[in-house]
Structure 1
């Protein structure tokens, strides 16, 4: 994607992953203890060669995608320890073992709370890339920001406020089709190194609103609307040391991240082959055999019932996993698991991760 400012150590562009790609999202296992403790984010992820080496041979041969979720402890140096496989799907292809091989190659920002030190959940999605997508890497062209946003080029006014407040950067990969006028369409998020900071959403808005377009093809080449192109955008960390440089206005309070809670499912809508979501599995995704995940942010009653839910994130975009998660919460098909004995909820709200395993 466009901006070549800084890269996370050890991370190869997904556009060049010839065999496999993985989506990592990091969710703290319990409540953040302090308002000054931001969510952890990646500082190093496996390279393309690492992913190729770890991809299960049988799954690669059969063209099978997979999802594994690890539970790990975060160390002071950012490394992960004591990782165990929480779940894997499909089980017979050993995606859990593959994820454990990759755990030693992952680094996070140092834990800043007891909750982060004791446990993080790491969903790792293994997916074979779209046909020849790795060969169709393309630069982006951006609008020129007005003077007050110029220091934040090329994202300009789309730079996420939360990332500025926390002085953190990130890296985003999207895939889009390109129209004859070089505008991007049907864009989908492939990679976001810090999903809690809003970089992925920012890039998708930049594409949808025409802030970024595709660079022209070489002379003689013709645009093919059905092709998918890969774009990369790097966001270098920007400091708020000089308040005048911040386009978002005066400093504001950083919201406290709600804690994570485990999900309980009812069985009234169970459907064979569709995992715990059952009849709430999005129809199009079920027919296409597409797995996914969604994180909802809800108010939790004392009995675990969920209310006032919003979607924090959903992947892959456009398959209905976000709407499905909200329907499950509204219908009380899902609830929050009880907290350990003697533990009081630190927040009125919580985040719950709903995994949609590959339909069987």
Structure 2
């Protein structure tokens, strides 16, 4: 997977045109296209060619040796990493008691829970463009609480050392006694 695509959280496609050798190896490969352009999918696909072989004959028995083929190679978008969340005054994603964001019903009933959100993580640890991935237990409003915390800047996540660009991450927020 190209480094640029990992940083962008982007999947893509590369098309390589190659010649079939008598051994079934692919030779003289060139990049015929890549989508999206500029993220390195073509170059990454070229590094995979030594691992790819094909039968030197087509299924109808005709020889494939010396023929030019175009091979599409898809790269799946990388899953966002799970970042450790921190709440002002809490430790490692844990809220030390109900606080202003703990869902009222859950606090009254002593229910603990978790929420998982996926967000853009800024180099300063701020979270934006979040979406809910899940909560447990369901219907106790933990996901909404996590979204409000992130939107108001009260939830920060750890960045990679030296981070200078946004990164897509998953953030697990644990609601429970500190």
TM-score (norm 2): 0.50
Matched residue, 2:169: 350
Q: Which residue of 1 aligns with 2:87?
A: 265
Deviation at 1:253, TM superposition (A): 7.2
8 Å contact 1:290–1:358 — kept in the other structure?
A: no
8 Å contact kept, 2:125–2:156: yes
Q: Structure 1 regions of 5+ residues with no counterpart?
A: 1-30, 36-251
Render the CA deviation track for 1:257-302: whole Å, top value 9, x for unaligned: 11111112113x9xxxx62662100000000111100011001111
Structure 2 residue 125 is the aligned partner of structure 1 residue 304: yes
Query: In 2, distance between residues paired with 1:286 and 1:314?
Result: 16
Structure 1: which 4+ aligned runs deviate by more than 4 Å?
A: 344-347
SS of equivalent residue, structure 2 residue 100: helix
Cα offset for 1:345? 7.6
Deviation at 1:312, TM superposition (A): 1.0
2:158 to 305, 319, 337: 337
Query: How far apart in 1 are the matches of 2:157 and 2:119?
Result: 9
> What is aligned with 1:283?
104
Contact 1:289 1:358 in 2 (8 A): no
Structure showing greater radius of gyration is: 2
Q: Distance in 1 between matches of 2:84 and 2:167?
A: 15
Q: Distance in 2 between matches of 1:304 and 1:260?
A: 13
How many equivalent pairs are there?
Answer: 105
Please give the TM-score of this superposition, normalised by the length of structure 1. 0.26
**Higher strand content, 1 or 2:** 2
**Separation in 2, partners of 1:338, 1:350:** 10
Local SS of the residue matching 2:111: coil
- C-alpha deviation, 1:255, in angstroms: 3.6
Tell me the equivalent position of 1:213. none
Quickly say closer, same or farther: Cα 1:277–1:334, change in 2 above 3 A. farther
Gaps of 5+ in 2: 1-6, 12-73
